[in-house]
């Protein structure tokens, strides 16, 4: 086969998408980073969780959450249809596998905004697809200041959030990459570099096997 037939875009198949898992203590900036990253990458989507809680005003089924009954949720859990799920304040929340797998199979990347437990469960369920990034604040003092400036929580709630933040940070070493969010623009650039580098990994390009076989058959 002529080399030109091997190197042209027509030969190259579709890559497999990846699961970009972002975790951080509350207030470290991962939600803002994920939104900006998605805005800059049209083929990047945010994972939508399922929940048994009622929709709040303005929430859209399939965009904010998949709103399901507890009976349906538990049936799906029994059928192993979630990467992970948990009961929080009387309601179930879970990450459904089907829409994620559908996106990955057509080369779309999926962002997950989860805590360390969710990140661990996702990596266990799909280790080859997962890329885990932990976002750290530059200091706990700055993190406390951010939570205080929100003016949404009492001092008691803020102290509780700070305790949870330390507990979350203890798991930073379980992640593939760690970004210190001391400058938002730089943190976003680093996150973009991670995404684009991971898109190039061999494992995400199954068409390469056929390409190399054809390459080795050249005369």
CA-to-CA dists, residue 10 to 151, 209, 217, angstroms:
55, 15, 19
Q: Report the C-alpha gap between 10 and 45 in whole angstroms.
A: 26
Checking if the pLDDT of 163 tops 60, the result is: yes
pTM of the model: 0.83
Checking if the pLDDT of 120 tops 50, the result is: yes
Sketch the domain layout of the chain as residue ranges: 3-47+108-216
Checking if the pLDDT of 157 tops 60, the result is: yes
- As a whole-number percent, the residues of the chain with pLDDT over 90 amount to 68
CATH 3.40.50.300 fits domain 3-47+108-216: yes
Identify which of 18, 21, 20, 40 has the alpha carbon closest to the alpha carbon of residue 107: 18
Q: Please report the pLDDT score of residue 151 as a whole number.
A: 62
For 30-55, what is the mean pLDDT? Answer: 93
């Amino acid at each position: 086969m002529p080399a030109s037939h091997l190197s042209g875009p027509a030969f190259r198949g579709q890559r497999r998408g990846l699961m970009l898992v972002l975790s951080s203590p509350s207030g470290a900036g991962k939600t803002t980073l994920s939104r900006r990253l998605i805005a800059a990458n049209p083929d990047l989507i945010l994972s939508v969780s399922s929940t048994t809680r009622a929709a709040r005003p303005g929430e859209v089924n399939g965009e904010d959450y998949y709103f399901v009954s507890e009976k349906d949720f538990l049936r799906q859990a029994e059928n192993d249809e979630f990467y992970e799920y948990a009961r929080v304040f009387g309601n179930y929340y879970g990450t459904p596998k089907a829409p994620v797998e559908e996106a990955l199979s057509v080369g779309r990347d999926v962002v997950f905004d989860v805590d360390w437990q969710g990140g661990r469960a996702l990596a266990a369920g799909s280790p080859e697809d997962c890329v885990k990034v932990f976002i750290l604040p530059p200091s706990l003092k700055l993190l406390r200041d951010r939570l205080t400036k929100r003016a949404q929580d009492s001092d008691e709630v803020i102290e509780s959030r700070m305790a949870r933040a330390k507990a979350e940070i203890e798991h930073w070493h379980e992640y593939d990459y760690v970004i210190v969010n001391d400058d938002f623009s730089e943190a976003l650039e680093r996150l973009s570099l991670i995404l684009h580098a991971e898109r190039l990994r061999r494992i995400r390009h199954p068409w390469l096997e056929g390409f190399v076989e054809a390459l080795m058959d050249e005369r």
